[in-house]
Structure 1
């Protein structure tokens, strides 16, 4: 079985959904499973609705906008009396009903129950459209198969239960399901982290022993840099799992960081291809004698740089590090770069859940801190160290770190 993942940009409107069938016609639709993201900017819009709900301001308008957008997309795909239109309305009725009845003050719990509806609705639309044009498939609820703990917004996979559930899938049939979402022991929805649909596809591929997994993007494949941020970038035709994992770790947005390990464990080839030109070979990630190690550029924006030092100028010791890391984990803040000296610790961090000010307050109980927000982390993989100076041109360097063939600088 093959696993295909279609992201939000590939199903953003009616024409994009129709193009999915073009891709499938090119690739073949026998024994495959499609993992579908929410349409376009739906996740952002539903996040805004949750934020408004907790701020006790109008959230219904945001939900209604998302509903109307999906109905408009559906009107470009189906007849006016198609049953999927009523089903879409029911999804949105369920969101509003949940929010009216909800008593939980847990933001992350409420977030997962609401935002996950984007994937449920988009996958239903794609499944129904494909069935109408004779790409026969069954719609699956990913929450019945991928099981996690109750760490809402960043669920940890229960691999034993997930493997057992997915093993029940009939491999002779084609399926459409959702990315990004799973469920915990009580069957409440848990999401797998922002942009987690790639990870969902990898979970299904691993548990199905898939022959290959492909994610469909609006770029030709994995490039030596994001073409929106860097000039003269080139396509990487073949890269190893290890190189792809390193690129994802350093922040290459085209690959979700958790995606590669399940595929590597079973040596499942992973392709990144363009849904605009499905016949283009794209990038193959896997074991190959053709693997390349070209100089690649990665830019992570909207980072924060924090310097932490002891109050008495004593060394940063293990007990200090333990305390600091515990606070980072508690606030769900990710370290992008770390550098230590005798009396201070410098961290370039990513604040996905707007918790950095709270973290800083907690750190200042025991430490001195200095923080600079809105910095960028620039990473060069497979760097030619003899050309080092070109990476520092026109940059205000706040922190730098050089390891074997990798240069990282924090700038503002």
Structure 2
């Protein structure tokens, strides 16, 4: 088959019916002429709403009002997109809403948090993909049958061999018939469980996994890798890959082109345009990534590929809601490799990712994204061996390709709790 294009549309580009109609215009104008795979996120702030509903249901608190708001939001979009009654798409839409309610009804605090989180939040992508496919009059395929992962809930590890086999077995025949819509963020896993009647017999259980928040970019890259796609285009509400988030920094600069390596580093430090895992599979197969604006689709955007370029404008990256944790040995001994091994093991067990780390003779500090549940799990694991202190509500700033002027600009008037500088990167944590 001809080379495939992969388009990824995030939550802002499918935030309501008008946005989905704009998506259709983009597909019709720019996606015609060769096979096209469309990956979509949940609509607008749906994932946040599902997280709130999940927390309430799991604690067995009342969640009817936020759930009804979510249902009405999607039902209104369905009406505006002329989803007709008693059609297969409308029946599937009603089934998804009914299944969501049924799964919420059985939740309790005893159930494994991350596993059931994945089952609930996945409904956002399932509903959005159905509405987008209806609007485009396109085929849809369940991404959970394509991307296969392990049971690392909320951050499924991809089984690349099985995934590539599933993609190549299912997608090419569909793509030859016209555009195909699938879900971002989601994967599928299966494992054996004993039957209730006979514990010696097992039944294969199919479960939903997710690839981490904002994982739809990664989905597009996985599928492009397996299909050896011609290109991936991520449609955003910005003009391309910028040197800073325009919501927080004035006078941003667009990079017309940038290398895989530079972009991977920016994503690792928290640049919000690209998911950190997205670039690796694309770079391995030399698949270019374009970042373009769905508000101005004719504009140039940014081309990310294997290239050489002159020195780039400093990139300013901001990560809010950070936690600074400090560990000190209780007997005032040095922080040794053995101590660090214990700390790193506990961080991995609590699924806390290090954004910055720094050690002195008798203490070790890390900055992570804040999760109350995970931080307390970490404290429980380490409090017997270490004296622990932590601060929350912090912000981590990173300047990639910094200079004296950019450092002075960003640190002015801020109280720095931790700072670190390498040859090309300056980072600091502040209150």
TM-score, structure 1 as length reference? 0.95
Among candidates 110, 114, 127, match of residue 133 of structure 2: 127
Instruction: Find the aligned partners of 2:374 and 2:83 in 1 and give their Cα distance.
Output: 46
Deviations 1:164-190 (A, max 9, x none): 001122242321000000111232000
Query: Closer, same or farther in 2 for the Cα pair 1:98/1:191, shift >3 Å?
Result: same
Q: Which runs of 5+ in 1 are unaligned?
A: 132-136
Query: Closer, same or farther in 2 for the Cα pair 1:274/1:303, shift >3 Å?
Result: same
Among candidates 117, 120, 123, match of residue 123 of structure 2: 117
SS of 1:161's equivalent? Answer: helix
Deviations 1:25-53 (A, max 9, x none): 23123301000000011111111111011
* Alpha-carbon offset, residue 81 of structure 1: 2.9
Q: Is 1:55–2:59 an aligned residue pair?
A: yes
Residue 172 of structure 1 corresponds to which residue in structure 2? Answer: 176
* Alpha-carbon offset, residue 357 of structure 1: 2.7
* Alpha-carbon offset, residue 107 of structure 1: 1.5
The correspondence of residues 13-412 of structure 1 with structure 2, limited to 5 A, is: 13-29=16-32, 30-78=34-82, 80-81=84-85, 83=87, 84-101=89-106, 105-131=111-137, 137-168=138-169, 169-170=171-172, 171-173=175-177, 174-185=179-190, 186-290=205-309, 293-352=312-371, 354-385=373-404, 388-412=407-431
Deviations 1:209-266 (A, max 9, x none): 0000011110001111000011111111111000000000110011101101000000
SS of 1:184's equivalent? Answer: strand
* Alpha-carbon offset, residue 371 of structure 1: 1.1
Instruction: Find the aligned partners of 1:106 and 1:148 in 2 and give their Cα distance.
Output: 18
Residues 233, 292 of structure 2: 8 Å contact kept? yes
Residue 134 of structure 1 corresponds to which residue in structure 2? Answer: none
SS of 2:206's equivalent? Answer: coil
Residues 314, 406 of structure 2: 8 Å contact kept? no
Show structure 1 runs of 4+ deviating over 6 A: none
* Alpha-carbon offset, residue 100 of structure 1: 3.3
* Alpha-carbon offset, residue 85 of structure 1: 3.2
* Alpha-carbon offset, residue 80 of structure 1: 4.6
Query: Closer, same or farther in 2 for the Cα pair 1:79/1:398, shift >3 Å?
Result: closer
Residues 67, 89 of structure 1: 8 Å contact kept? no
* Alpha-carbon offset, residue 370 of structure 1: 1.8
SS of 2:129's equivalent? Answer: helix
SS of 1:354's equivalent? Answer: helix
Aligned residues: 407
* Alpha-carbon offset, residue 161 of structure 1: 0.4
SS of 1:26's equivalent? Answer: helix
Residues 399, 407 of structure 2: 8 Å contact kept? no
Residues 259, 308 of structure 2: 8 Å contact kept? no
SS of 2:373's equivalent? Answer: coil
* Alpha-carbon offset, residue 96 of structure 1: 1.7
Q: Which runs of 5+ in 2 are unaligned?
A: 191-204
Query: Closer, same or farther in 2 for the Cα pair 1:338/1:391, shift >3 Å?
Result: same
Query: Closer, same or farther in 2 for the Cα pair 1:352/1:306, shift >3 Å?
Result: closer
